A and B are shown apart, each in its own frame.
Chain A
Amino acid sequence: MASNATDYIKHHLTFWNSSHEGGFSSLHVDSFSVSLILGFLFAGVFAYVARNAKLENPGKLQLFVESIVEMVDTQVKEIFHAKSNVIAPLALTIFCWVFLMNAMDMLPVDLIPMAAQWIGFTFFGADPHHVYFRVVPSADVNVTFGLSISVLICIIGFSISAKGLGGWIKELFTAPFHASGPVGTILLAPANFALQMVELLAKPISLSLRLFGNMYSGELIFILIALLPWGAQWLLGAPWAIFHILVITLQAFVFMMLTIVYLSLAVEKH
């Protein structure tokens, strides 16, 4: 076991890449397809409930969906004081989608990869050792950065729509340090701009790396637990899985909350 433990871990941490060479034009088929399926699952269930929502005698599913919507709505109303039709649905999508992607961590680590290996071997004649399937999309930096860069674009968009393009660019050079005269303003502009850029770029990086780090480490620990003798796995696996229920929910919630906070900062005037 010890000799191929490294292989086992490596195999589990390798993506199903659309091209063997990798490179920017290649696609992680596994994370992309899983996240797509989960996204459609979320959209489908919520749209189904929204379409069939009953004013009186709501069903259990409707109450569940309503409680999530209510929670997101409360958070958005508490933090984001400007008027926007985008932010609440955005926050809801982030919370549910990230939660679902994180929740893939709760599946047994070998279940989907082995199923993929079996399908690849049986129907496509592939070498099982070269069939890779990572089932947790949020443990893929592409996925988390895909989300956080979208949030960055939203931040910039919200800033421009709230302050105007000129106002936003002016703020990039004149905040956080204010000078009284024109000479001082010009002198402080590079420092201001550098700080603003750091602030702006730190947001998506911290957002995505926080989620990625949590989910990657969680996945890795499940893989390590899977290396234990089968009779002992539950000893560590059960507590970690239970703790992980908290982690996946919390990470989804944190991602949503920070997005709302960043967007509310973007529309506020300094």
Chain B
Amino acid sequence: MEFNVTLLGQAITFAILVWFTMKFVWPPLTNMMEERAERIADGLAAAERGKQDLEAAEKRVADELRQAKQQATELILAAEKRANQIVEEAKDAARTEGAKLVTEAKSQIDQEVLRAKEALREQVAGLAVAGAEKILRKEIDAAKHADLLASIKAEF
């Protein structure tokens, strides 16, 4: 066991190596590793955020879908109601129209009947007068019995 200048040489080499490691090895490596750790943490956080976003979006989609379905049902119900209403209205209108047509026709018929009766009455009266004239021509003076003739005529 003898000490010599090797010890100093070793100590100097050691100092240089430590300085070199301090300057060129340790900082870049640890910085890089820290950055990587940060990046991994960021990535995980982003993934978590994405998952949450996705869940929220799915929930919103389900909500909107449900709403749309509800709206569609409402619309269908309203449309059915409206259709029924229109049918009812049409029926009503048709009914009133029909009734009107019927009453019109009835009144026309009545008028026709009245007119026919009138005409008939005229003709019967005429025929009766003509018949009576033929019968009475011989016995009755037309001028004398004009009042009588008129009253008979009116009775028809």
Contact of B29 (CB < 8 Å), options: A65, A85, A146? A65
Name the interface size band of chain B: 20 to 34
Given known contacts A27-B5, A92-B21, A69 and B35 CB-to-CB distance under 8 angstroms: no
Report the tally of A-B residue pairs with Cβ distances under 8 A: 122
Segment 1-51 of A: residues with Cβ below 8 Å from B = 17, 22-28, 31-32, 35-36, 39, 42-43, 46-47, 49-51
Q: Which residues of chain B come closer than 8 Å to A27, judged between CB atoms? A: 4-6, 9
Whether the pair B29, A145 counts as a contact (CB closer than 8 A) is no
Q: Which residues of chain A come closer than 8 Å to B9, judged between CB atoms? A: 27, 32, 36, 146
Q: Which residues of chain A come closer than 8 Å to B33, judged between CB atoms? A: 66, 69-70
B13 at the interface (CB under 8 A from A): yes
Whether the pair A55, B36 counts as a contact (CB closer than 8 A) is yes
Whether the pair B3, A141 counts as a contact (CB closer than 8 A) is yes
A73 at the interface (CB under 8 A from B): yes
Rounded to whole angstroms, the CA-CA distance of A173 and B28 in the bound complex is: 42
A147 at the interface (CB under 8 A from B): yes
Q: Which residues of chain B come closer than 8 Å to A36, judged between CB atoms? A: 9, 13
Rounded to whole angstroms, the CA-CA distance of A269 and B32 in the bound complex is: 34
Chain A nearest CB from B75 CB (Å) reads: 55
Contact of A43 (CB < 8 Å), options: B20, B28, B35? B20
A248 at the interface (CB under 8 A from B): no
Q: Which residues of chain B come closer than 8 Å to A89, judged between CB atoms? A: 18, 21-22, 25-26
Report whether over half of chain B's contact residues are helix, strand or loop; otherwise say mixed: helix
- Which of A69, A89, A97 has most B Cβ within 10 Å? A89
A188 at the interface (CB under 8 A from B): no
B7 at the interface (CB under 8 A from A): yes
- Which of B10, B11, B22, B36 has most A Cβ within 10 Å? B10
Contact of A146 (CB < 8 Å), options: B8, B21, B35? B8
A93 at the interface (CB under 8 A from B): yes
B15 at the interface (CB under 8 A from A): yes
A260 at the interface (CB under 8 A from B): no
Chain B residues engaging chain A, CB cutoff 8 angstroms:
1-11, 13-18, 20-22, 24-26, 28-30, 32-33, 35-36, 39
Contacts A/B (CB < 8 Å), 16 sampled: A31-B6, A32-B10, A32-B13, A43-B20, A47-B20, A50-B24, A50-B28, A66-B33, A88-B30, A89-B26, A90-B18, A93-B18, A145-B10, A146-B9, A146-B13, A147-B11
Give 12 new A-B contacts, CB below 8 A, not counting A25-B4, A28-B6: A27-B4, A31-B10, A42-B17, A46-B29, A73-B30, A85-B22, A89-B26, A142-B4, A146-B6, A146-B7, A146-B8, A147-B11
